[in-house]
Amino acid sequence: MYIISSYFLAVVLCVITMLCWGSWANTQKLAQRSWRFELFYWDYVIGIVLTSLIFGFTLGSHGELGRSFLEDLNQADLKNVWSAFLGGIIFNAANILLVAAISIAGMSVAFPIGIGLALVLGVIINYLAEPTGNPVWLFGGVALITTAIILDALAYRKKVGDGEKSIKKGLLFSVLGGILMALFYRFVANSMAMDFESPEAGYLTPYTAVFIFAIGVLGSNLILNTILMKRPIEGLPLSYSEYFSGNLRTHLTGILGGVIWCIGMSFSIIAAGKAGFAISYGLGQGATLVAALWGVFIWKEFKNVRGTQGLLAIMFLSFLGGIAMLIFAGL
């Protein structure tokens, strides 16, 4: 299987993860004009599963180091398979809350608060489990990102104060989703061998772990999203017939969102072999900055909201400083 050999390349993959995780939600914004998020989410999950298979049978099946994709699946212990599968379940619950928050409050709110919270908690959890990286730089970066989250929340309050009180629900979903999002990565990491080049028997390698994780997302979605369709957060209940009535372009938009997200997930897991799980996860969740940029400058989610320009500018600078410190933590 393909394995990276340098910290620099690991950082490059983490930056790509950050761009992917911060950009996939644009596909939801595009589909949202005529398509409820519950329907979008089925295609999004299909995109995740398909991408995990493509990675498994390409990069995961070629190369002299490690175990190939199918070989790794055949030798995996059930406890490690379950750990990656459970990571998929937790992620799916978190992501459904995040997608709902995007639908209600927009990307520039849901991502900085929800994923920013996930970054802070996730870095702490993954560092305690595997203390890789300089803790001063690592937690200094976390402190700056926490500052950015607080500033975004203050800007959000001004937006609500300007007559959008109904989207306060988006803040709640962002926080709940962020707490759950902080947990899923650790379960995937626990299922994996520490040495990707000569992996221990019974443990998963990156491509297999991502595939099992994706199956966990799919399996849990059959339950969670079905419940959400029947008892929606907003609007009338939905039926499966409404999903199948969607046109090809709408379905492909959702699948593209899943493809983009899973490329980021795969690169993050591959990069963890050199960067460590805390740094790899933390840099990837710098997606908060990318998503906020999309929300503010492309989707104009704070247009005509008075008194937010300064808060948003300092927020972006805090995110950039925090991400830079996370990179230096691994040098």
In the numeric block, which tokens belong to residue 138? 């690592």
CA distance 208 to 226: 27
Round to whole Å and give the CA distance between 38 and 20.
21
Q: Rounded to 5 degrees, what angle do the CA atoms 172, 285, 325 make? A: 120
Query: Do residues 302 and 159 touch, judged by C-beta distance below 8 A?
Result: yes
Over residues 57-72, mean pLDDT: 92
| Of residues 105 and 247, more confidently modeled | 247
Q: Give the lowest-confidence range in 21-25, 80-84, 308-312.
A: 308-312
What is the pTM (predicted TM-score) of this model?
0.87
Checking if the pLDDT of 163 tops 90, the result is: no
Alpha helices in 192-305, H assignment, sequence order = 206-230, 240-244, 248-275, 277-284, 287-293
The pLDDT confidence band at residue 165, using thresholds 50, 70 and 90, is low
Q: What distance separates the 2 farthest-apart alpha carbons in the chain?
A: 60
Tell me how far CA of residue 259 lies from CA of 107, 242, 273, in angstroms.
19, 23, 22
Residue-averaged pLDDT of the chain: 88
Q: Determine the average pLDDT of the residues in 98-114.
A: 76
